[in-house]
Each structure stands twice: as C-alpha cells, then as structure tokens.
Amino acid sequence: MKKKNYLLSFFIVTGLLGIFPLKAQNRKPNIIVIFADDLGYGDLGVYGHPTIQTPHLDRMAFEGQKWTNFYVAAPVCTPSRAALMTGRLPVRTGMSSEKRRVLFPDSKGGLPQTEITIGKKLKEAGYHTAAIGKWHLGHLPAYQPNAHGFDYYYGIPYSNDMDRVQEGEYFEVLKQPQVDYFNVPLIQNGKEIERPTDQTTLTKRYTEEAVKFIQENKEDPFFLYLAHSMPHVPLFASPDFQGGSPRGLYGDVLREIDWSVGEVLKALKENGIDENTLVVFTSDNGPWLIFEDHGGSAGMLRGGKGGTFDGGMRVPAIFRWPGKIEPGVVLEIGSTLDLFPTFVSLTQSQLPTDRIYDGYDLSQALLNGGKSQREEIYYYRDTEVFAVRKGPYKVHFVTQNDYGSRDKTQHTPPLVYHLDQDPSEKYNISQKHPELIQEVRDLLEKHKATLKPVVNQLER
C-alpha cells in the first residue's frame, strides 16, 4: 500500500512539475509600470470622471488597489521621470532647474550615468528590460534607455509637442494639430526609424511593442516601462478611437490608453503569467489646465501641471497583482519615488548604500495590509521646496501660478491645509497650528542638510 501511495505521489508531483516548470515556480515577479503623461487626478472613471470611459483601468482598480494619496516628485515631465527611474529627488541628480524646467531637443545633458535606474538595477537581478514610449531623460546616446539598463527601447525621446515646425501661435497650433506640425523622431534601440512620427498611431504601436515584449519574455522575469506620450498635447488618437467619447478628443485619447492597458493585461493572462506580474498605472504630473478642453482635470484638487498645489502633483495610482495584492482603496501616502525601493524589495535585491534614496518600500502596504512608511511629501517646484506635507497637513511656504506668471508669493505665516478634510486646499488654518509650522520648518531644514551640489543637466 505504501508503495502504491509513493508511486501515486511521484506521478502527481512529476506531473505538476511538467505543467509548472521548477523555473516558473521559483522565478521573481514580472513588473510593469504604465506611465501616462499629464493625466489628471480626476480623469479616470474610477477616480470620478463623469464622461470619460475607462473600463479596463476601472477593472484594474477593482482587482487591485486604488491609492488616493499618491504623488510625483515634480509637477513637470523631466524631473518627475528622473525621480521615478532613480528613487531620488531630481535636485540630487541634476534633473531640475529654475531656468529650463525640462529637457529640450537642443539640451546637451540628461540623466547621468552615475545614477542607477530601475532598468539597470533589475537587469543586474537577471531581468529582461524594455522602455517603450516617451523617455525625456536625455535624447543623446549617452542618456537614452539603452545606456541606462534597458535591453530594448522603442519610443520618442522627449515630449510630443517639441520639434515644432508649423508656424503660428503655440496654443492654436497645439489645439488644431496635424502630424507634420511636429518633427518628433521615433527611435528604436538608438536608431531613428521615423520622422516625423505618425502620432495618430503611437499609442497603438506602443501597445503592440509591449505585447510583443511580454510574449517574447514570458519564460523569464522582465521589467516593462510603458510610458505613453499622451494625453500631453498635441492630442492624437488612432482612427478606431476618434470621435467616440463624449469628452471629445481628450476622451478619445484616454479611451485608447485604457484599451492599451486592457491589451497588456490580456497578454499577461494569455501567456500564463498574470498571477506573477505586478502592474502599476500612474501619471507623471497633473493636468495641463491652460489647454482648456485639450487638458485634463484634477477633479476636486486645486491646481494642475507646473504648480505645487495638489492638482499638480497628486496623481492616479493603481496597483494590480492577482493573488498577492488584496483589492481595496488605500488612503496611505505614496509616491513614484517609492517604486524603486519597492521593486528592489519585491525582487529580493538590495538598495545601493553609496547614495541617499528618497523613496520608501511600499511592499508591506501592498501585500500585507500594512501601513505605508511615508509620512511626508516635499513639493519641489524646480529646485525649491514650495510646500511640505506631513501626515494630513500641508504647509505652503511659497505659492506661484502653475503657468503664466513668474510672481512668487512668500507666505508669513505659511498657509496650512488639512488635506484629509480639505483636499481642495480652500481653508487656511495656519492660525490654529503654529507648533505644526515650526515642526515642518525643522523637518525641511533637516531635509535640506542632506542635499549636495550637483551638475545641472537641464542647463547644459
């Protein structure tokens, strides 16, 4: 009888190993970051938009976690992306500037080789890596994704409104765009393959490349950074998505990005790796409000892209990992700065000890229902801290319009808002909290003491 039981167990185990190879059972998780450009806090159905349909992102949120207090490190493209990639504030890497807020086609600098990106770190851990979409961390060869730990790169090197060749008033040109108005190149592994890029098919082609990468690397752990070029203006949608949204062209663009998310999730299921893949969806900053109906919405948050009210820096954030992440709405504070250390933890790697990191490991909050370690947010506008959040309180030392004005207002005493009770930052309660203001001042001074001079890459 024992012999029969032994043989039965042997056949069961060997049969299971045949279905689920040992390599697959022990492999590290795949990680996908889907990054939108200028997507506002209030632009998704699951975040409350009344007319933009985002069924795939809504389902992703229902199957995973929707974070409501998730921030970026800067309210504009280049510094925000540098922070996500490195887990370090842009002021530490030379990727922020008071003179040129982002990199341009004539810029000579970019993310320094001395920085360790998520791509570089995970590649060291045995991952296949790909960056698909907008990069904006340097267009010269020394700064492109292939030089920063990515095996494969397919996308545009900077914002889709750059290399403008069409004459005319900037806002009018961008609100009535044609493909040939912008001489933006499409690059594949350092080689220019199309110029100008046909932006009407960019979202579709990014998606096809992402699905192909998933299919080709399903047997090994991979990291995919899928950074959409839109809804940054100019807005373009492929023919299948044009004219289908009550929200107009902006809604069409988001419907296609939502479709793209659905295709990525479908590819994971079809290739049998859905339950071994963490997918994160978020945005690089808030909506570009000056573009009116071609810009997005921050919902009930105040301000937008370029500024340090929450509308400029609090963004949608959805985490999905079937069987690992317990679905729910998370009110904890998080940041794109936290993605680097979280991924390092999930892949059983170690953070380098030769530099300061500004992110926290969110894995306990994601996987075990724990608390986020993050209690503070530094609201940098370029190289200066305009405000600090500590717990539910936000203290504004300086305010300035998102765009259109260079006048800064120094506040004495600083403005204080309770973001849990007043997310729209309407009711200043500074007179009630003098001790809090001093506490935050001390926190900020302690933070500033950790900063060291670096070469400014945006001014080169």
CA–CA distance, 379 with 390 (Å, rounded to integer):
11
Alpha-carbon torsion 408, 410, 415, 419, what sign? positive
The mean pLDDT value of the chain amounts to: 94
- Which CATH superfamily groups domain 27-375? Alkaline Phosphatase, subunit A (3.40.720.10)
Tell me which fold the domain 378-448 belongs to: Arylsulfatase, C-terminal domain (3.30.1120)
Residue 17: the pLDDT is: 43
- pLDDT, tens digit (0-9, with 9 covering 90-100), for 257-281: 999 999 999 999 999 999 999 999 9
Residue 406: the pLDDT is: 79
Residue 26: the pLDDT is: 58
Report the percent of the chain where pLDDT is more than 90.
Answer: 92
Active site residues: 77, 136
Would you kindly state where each structural domain of the chain is located, as residue ranges? Answer: 27-375, 378-448
Surface-to-core class of residue 237, CB atoms within 10 Å of its CB (0-12 exposed, 13-18 middle, 19+ buried): buried
Residue 12: the pLDDT is: 44
Residue 329: the pLDDT is: 97
CA–CA distance, 182 with 166 (Å, rounded to integer):
7
DSSP per-residue codes, 231-248: SSSSP---GGGTT--TT-
Mean pLDDT, range 328-336, rounded to an integer: 97
65-71 β-sheet, strand order: 191-194, 186-188, 152-155, 128-133, 222-227, 30-36, 277-283, 317-320, 65-71, 328-335
Beta-strand ranges (E) seen in 291-337 are 317-320, 328-335
Residue 404: the pLDDT is: 74
Hey, what amino acid is at 309? F
Residue 407: the pLDDT is: 85
Residue 27: the pLDDT is: 82
